Amino acid sequence: MQKQHLLYEGKAKKVYATNEERVLWIEYKDEATAFNGEKKATIAGKGRLNNEITSLLFSLLHEAGVNNHFIRKISDNEQLVRQVTIIPLEVVVRNIVAGSLAKRIGLEEGTALEKPIVEFYYKNDDLGDPLLTEDHIAVLQLASCDELLYMKQMALRVNDIFISLFRSCDLQLVDFKLEFGRDETGAVLLADEISPDTCRLWDVHTKEKFDKDVFRRDLGDLTETYTKLLQRLGGLSCTK
Ligand code: C5P
């Protein structure tokens, strides 16, 4: 497999074409950003850790029968994925109130939700990634009703799988964000990354944070936090 020209550079990743049709080469960067790019830092080791954790989580999802774009990890900070056209929606699942939900509806951070909430946000930097209703999504023609239903069902399925996975590591899955894309046949496929950059994870007992809130809120060393998370995940029998 050969890496070819750069197709896209995002906040945390670079995406390259390869010599194989519909296969992309992803390079995870050491950059951390928050608040729509307002806060930025280079954090040594972050790219390697997120590549490792994303690869692990997508592999576990494959094993659990959840189709996704991940093909294989090819180096410390690089992986191969199937090419899809990303649907410009961030699909957020929440089990516990935190972050923007606490601000939006005024419930205290840490309040457990009786059942998971699924939200859709518009991936649009100029608009500040607003929350969308299903009617907004229809007006903007971002996804069909069937696609929305599928994304919601898949997000809840991933939530079920991850809740028990993280519980076995003494972690609570507070919330997380997924992205989906369409393949060449138009089928919707789970894509992008799933890492502590895109999830909130709290220690079950101490509520210590194992995610990017450590960077957002200046709570400590992000490399150390992500290393500890990987160690906890590495302790799982299914990863050996
Ligand atoms: O900020 P908010 O509370 O809405 O975030 C919910 C979840 O989605 C968090 O786990 C956060 O890390 C993730 N998220 C993300 N990328 C964004 C916005 C949120 O990964 N652009």
pLDDT of amino acid 36: 82
Same domain, 73 and 120: no
Mean pLDDT for the chain overall: 96
Q: What span, in angstroms and rounded, lies between the C-alpha atoms of 177 and 147?
A: 17
Residue finishing a domain among 82, 106, 136: 82
Same domain, 210 and 110: yes
Neighbours of 180 (CB within 10 A): 23
Same domain, 216 and 101: yes
Whether 205 is in a domain gets the answer yes
Q: What is the domain count for the chain?
A: 2
pLDDT over 50 at 236, yes or no: no
Domain that holds residue 90: 85-221
pLDDT over 80 at 240, yes or no: no
pLDDT over 90 at 162, yes or no: yes
Burial class from Cβ neighbours inside 10 Å (0-12, 13-18, 19+) for residue 171 reads buried
Q: Are 69 and 154 in contact (CB under 8 A)?
A: no
Same domain, 73 and 101: no
pLDDT of amino acid 37: 85
Mean pLDDT of 152-173: 98
Q: How many angstroms separate the alpha carbon of residue 212 from the centre of ligand 1?
A: 9
176 lines ligand 1 (CB under 6 A): yes
Proportion of the chain above pLDDT 70, given as a percent: 98
Same domain, 11 and 91: no
99 lines ligand 1 (CB under 6 A): yes
Q: How many angstroms separate the alpha carbon of residue 64 from the centre of ligand 1?
A: 24
Which pair of tokens denotes residue 102? 């606490």
Mean pLDDT of 204-231: 97
Residue nearest to atom 11 of ligand 1 (CA): 198
pLDDT of amino acid 191: 98
Got the DSSP string for 163-199? HHHHHTTTEEEEEEEEEEEE-TTS-EEEES--STTTE
Q: Are 181 and 87 in contact (CB under 8 A)?
A: yes
Residue nearest to atom 7 of ligand 1 (CA): 176
Mean pLDDT of 194-211: 98
Whether 116 is in a domain gets the answer yes
Whether 168 is in a domain gets the answer yes
Mean pLDDT of 218-238: 85
Q: Where are the beta strands (DSSP E) in 97-170?
A: 112-122, 131-132
123-159 pLDDT, tens per residue? 999 999 999 999 999 999 999 999 999 999 999 999 9
100 lines ligand 1 (CB under 6 A): yes
Which of 94, 109, 124, 175, when mutated, tests ligand 1's pocket best, judged by the most ligand atoms within 8 Å of its CB? 175
Proportion of the chain above pLDDT 90, given as a percent: 95
pLDDT over 50 at 235, yes or no: no
pLDDT of amino acid 189: 98
Q: Mean pLDDT lowest for which of 4-8, 36-40, 218-222?
A: 36-40
Q: Mean pLDDT lowest for which of 18-27, 184-193, 228-237?
A: 228-237
* Amino acid occupying residue 208: E
Mean pLDDT of 73-102: 98
Which of 96, 123, 177, 178, when mutated, tests ligand 1's pocket best, judged by the most ligand atoms within 8 Å of its CB? 177
pLDDT of amino acid 238: 35
Whether 233 is in a domain gets the answer no
209 lines ligand 1 (CB under 6 A): no
